[in-house]
Every structure is written in C-alpha cells, then in structure tokens.
Structure 1
Amino acid sequence: MKRSRFSEEQIIAILKEQEAGMATAEVCRRHGISSATFYKWKAKFGGLEVSEARRLRSLEEENARLKKLLAEAMLDNAVLKDLAPKKW
C-alpha cells in the first residue's frame, strides 16, 4: 500500500481546519489534495484526536499480523489433512 505523504497528525490538523469553518475546496487546494482524499480521511479520522489515531494505526497493524498468522495456520492445517489419509 502506498504510504501517505501526510502523517496522522497532519491529516487531523487538516480536518480541524475544515471543521473550524474553512471551505472544503479551500482546504483541499491549500494542501494539494483532492476532495475525494479529504472525504476519505474524514470518514476514517473524523472526530479522532492524535492519540486515538495512533491507537487506531497500532490496532490495524496488529490485526494484519494476526490475519497473517491465521492464514499460515490454516495452510499448515490443510497440508496436514492432505497428508493424513495417505497410507505410509
């Protein structure tokens, strides 16, 4: 996945600018982002504080790690099931 050129802190600051009363189009133009990007960020980070965004990122990383471990365990299980019925 492509890494954003904005950190969570910067994204939250951009969202707060718009919440403070600045027009969405103006905020997007000032920071060089598209309105689609802005609304995607708003859906993900809207209403979050910086510490909550960091916690969200760490939970997403942990979730990805656990999904990878589960996939590996399921693959090992499938291999063992294929080998078990065969007679030695």
Structure 2
Amino acid sequence: MKKSRFSAEEKMVIVLTGLKGNKTVAAICKEYGISQAQYYKWRDRFLEAGRSALESPENTNQVQQLEKKIQELEQIIGKQAIVIETLKKDCHTEWRQIARQLIEQGFSISEAMKYLGMSRSGYYYKKRGYKRKRDDGDVIGEILLLKGKHPSFGYRRIWAMLRRRGWKINKKRVYRVMKENGLLLESKRKKVRK
C-alpha cells in the first residue's frame, strides 16, 4: 500500500505497531510503503510530543494562521464594542465629540471616521462666519449720537465720522447695525415720466 500522504491517525497506528514490537521495523515499512528513516522520524516526533507532533507542518501552519485570524477578529470586535458603547452613551452628542472620544480611546482619526461614516476632511472642517456674536452696544450708542446731530447722514458718512473719532470699524458693520436698528435713510428714487 504505497501512499504519498498519511493522516495523523495513520502515522500514529504505524508508530504504535512498531513500538509494540510484534513486527520488525523493516516489515512495517515494507507493508506501508515508507522508508525506515521516515518511520524513525515519525517515531521520534511521536515520543517527543505525541499525536500533535505527527500532524503535518501544513496543518500547524494552518492552525497558526487561524489563531492569528482569531486574534485579529478579537481586536476588531473589541474596537467595535468600544464604538458601540460610545455611540450608546452619546446618541445625542455631536459626531465630532464622539470622534474625539474614540480617538482618546486609541483609535486613529481615519478609523474613527470610518466607524462614524464620515470623511476625515469633515472632521477637520470648521465653519466660517462669526465665532461669537459681537457686542454692538457701544457702537449703537455712538451711531445714535451722530445720527441725532446729523439725521440726514447715511451709513457711509456715519462710518467716516466714526473713523475720524478713532473707531476701527468696517463700513459693512456700520451698515448692518444701522439696518438692524432702523437708522438707514430711504434711498431717493428718480421720478420716471410715463
């Protein structure tokens, strides 16, 4: 029975047959179609570690690969558990805050954004516009004072007078403040003949 590959069970049967001593090693090798060197190699492995040593190196490599895959999956599951817990706690929180919490727990920015379904550029994006609402109270007081003295002045002349008085103020801000407080003049319209 010449066979190129033997399972771990078959190798164990061959080695145990030789260890019993009922047959000679040469007879066993001839019966199973293996060399004596192969038999002694299996016997030595068997005596060192038992059945697990008789398994082929391919199987041990496969086991190692599977164990490595299990470790990788456990890491992924651990990360997802952290993400789920964070999302459960903070379901009403802004997603940037959730992302910051994930990053503090050891995730990279790209991983955190992937779990949240957002892009990295979205994480770094900052809205433009006013950072805080400006306090226009002092400006309004000064504009009202000037408007009281010069009721026919528009926002451009009021702006120029404020600049002469030392105010560092933009023309658009003067326009906005005057518009919000109803201090703008109505523009003159040309009469159109019909």
**Deviating 4+ runs (over 6 angstroms):** none
Spell out, residue by residue over 1:30-61, the C-alpha distance to the aligned partner (whole angstroms, 9 max, x if none): 11100111111112223624xx456x976543
Aligned partner of 1:32: which letter?
G
Paired residue for 2:31? 30
The CA RMSD over aligned residues, in Å, is 2.7
Larger Rg: 2
Residue identity (%)? 29
Q: What TM-score comes out, normalization by structure 1 length?
A: 0.51
Aligned partner of 1:40: which letter?
K
Spell out, residue by residue over 1:68-87, the C-alpha distance to the aligned partner (whole angstroms, 9 max, x if none): xxxxxxxxxxxxxxxxxxxx
Aligned pair count? 59
> Cα distance 1:58–1:34, how it changes in 2: closer, same or farther (>3 A)?
closer
Higher percent of residues as helix: 1
**Counterparts of 1:62 and 1:9 in 2: how far apart (Å)?**
18
**Counterparts of 1:6 and 1:58 in 2: how far apart (Å)?**
13
Return the offset for 1:11.
0.2
